[in-house]
Amino acid sequence: MSPRKITVSTLKQMKAEGERFAVLTAYDASFAYQLEQNGVEVILVGDTLGMVIQGLDTTLPVSIDDVIYHTRAVRRGATSVLIMADMPFMSDATPELAVRNAGRLMKEGGAHIVKLEGGANQEEVVRRLSELGIPVCSHLGLQPQSVHKLGGYKVQGREASMAEQILSDAGRLVEAGADMLLLECVPRELAAQVTNSVSVPVIGIGAGPDTDAQVLVLYDMLGITPGHRPKFSHDFLAGSESIADAIQAYVESVKQGSFPDAEHSFK
């Protein structure tokens, strides 16, 4: 049986019905096929490709051409899932740049939705993309493209003022037209508050079990990323018989709400 076609509307309906969905990153056709066949609803062609594919220390050097190349490959492998492509560092620094680059991700890469990092500072960019019919996912909390400004990959929103800022940014971005939010590395309680305060689906990574969906970097989830793996990730291949089983185990745990548990969440 071929998998059902997933659109932004499907995911909004799932949120409305309280049904969780599963997201994983992928960067090539073969893994995209495996993800689609094993129940993942959204594939993120993340700028983490700089780290896990290109072996870089950060995502900053990733170019728009890199993301287009990998999005095209993913698109060839998966025909029914929603494909989300990342706007790389500085590709969305102004509304004009963002329109040009998001347009390329959709026209040349075949993306269905673009993801960009930033809070209220990116409100105008989100508004312009949305006005032009480009679906947007806004990435809040830990924004890895700002790693040098933040001084490292740290949990965001533990202090009341930062938590309020994230909550308020989430509302403003949805108001500006964001179709989805992604929250990275924030305390569980804050992620739950954001998820309950907006009508659009919220995808979490290191944000606890109360968001509408979860995402992991595929290679972290298969336990093959060299070096340090974040506390919030889990190796689903350990204890599974195949990659397909590991993907199914991840999807089931997300849908049942058993992943992430307290051990993979932040307070």
Q: How far is the CB of 67 from ligand KIV (least distance, A)?
A: 9
Q: How far is the CB of 142 from ligand KIV (least distance, A)?
A: 9
How is residue 116 written in tokens? 């960009």
Q: Determine the Cα–Cα distance for residues 118 and 143; give it in Å rounded to an integer.
A: 7
From 8, 32, 35, 44, residue interacting with ligand KIV (rule: CB under 6 A): 44
Does 39 sit near ligand KIV (CB under 6 A)?
A: no
Q: Determine the Cα–Cα distance for residues 198 and 16; give it in Å rounded to an integer.
A: 11
CB nearer to ligand KIV: give 47 or 123: 47
The answer to whether the CB of 188 falls within 8 A of the CB of 197 is no
Does 62 sit near ligand KIV (CB under 6 A)?
A: no
How is residue 165 written in tokens? 């800022």
Does 64 sit near ligand KIV (CB under 6 A)?
A: no
Q: How far is the CB of 48 from ligand KIV (least distance, A)?
A: 3
Does 212 sit near ligand KIV (CB under 6 A)?
A: no
Stretch that binds ligand KIV, among 41-49, 74-82, 126-134, 186-194 (CB under 6 A): 41-49
Of residues 168-207, which lie at the interface with ligand KIV (CB under 6 A)?
182, 184, 205
Of residues 77-136, which lie at the interface with ligand KIV (CB under 6 A)?
86
Q: Which helix (H) or strand (E) holds 136?
A: strand 136-141
**Contacts with ligand KIV: how many residues (CB under 6 A)?**
11
Does 48 sit near ligand KIV (CB under 6 A)?
A: yes
Q: Which of 117, 184, 189, 241 is catalytic?
A: 184
Chain residue whose CB lies nearest ligand KIV: 46
Does 67 sit near ligand KIV (CB under 6 A)?
A: no
How would DSSP label each residue in 15-43?
A: HHTT--EEEEE--SHHHHHHHHHTT-SEE
Does 254 sit near ligand KIV (CB under 6 A)?
A: no
Closest by CA position to 218, among listed 22, 58, 37, 24? 24
Does 163 sit near ligand KIV (CB under 6 A)?
A: no
Q: Determine the Cα–Cα distance for residues 2 and 36; give it in Å rounded to an integer.
A: 9
Establish whether 19 is a catalytic residue. Answer: no
**DSSP-based three-state secondary structure for 208:** coil
From 25, 34, 122, 195, residue interacting with ligand KIV (rule: CB under 6 A): 25
Q: Name the amino acid, one letter, at 154.
A: K
CB nearer to ligand KIV: give 174 or 215: 215
Long-range contacts of 150-157 (CB under 8 A, 24+ apart): 153/185, 153/230, 154/185, 155/185, 155/186, 155/187, 155/206, 155/266, 156/184, 156/185, 156/186, 157/186, 157/187, 157/190
Q: Determine the Cα–Cα distance for residues 248 and 235; give it in Å rounded to an integer.
A: 13
Residue numbers at the binding site for ligand KIV (CB under 6 A): 25, 44, 46-48, 86, 182, 184, 205, 215, 217
Active site residues: 184
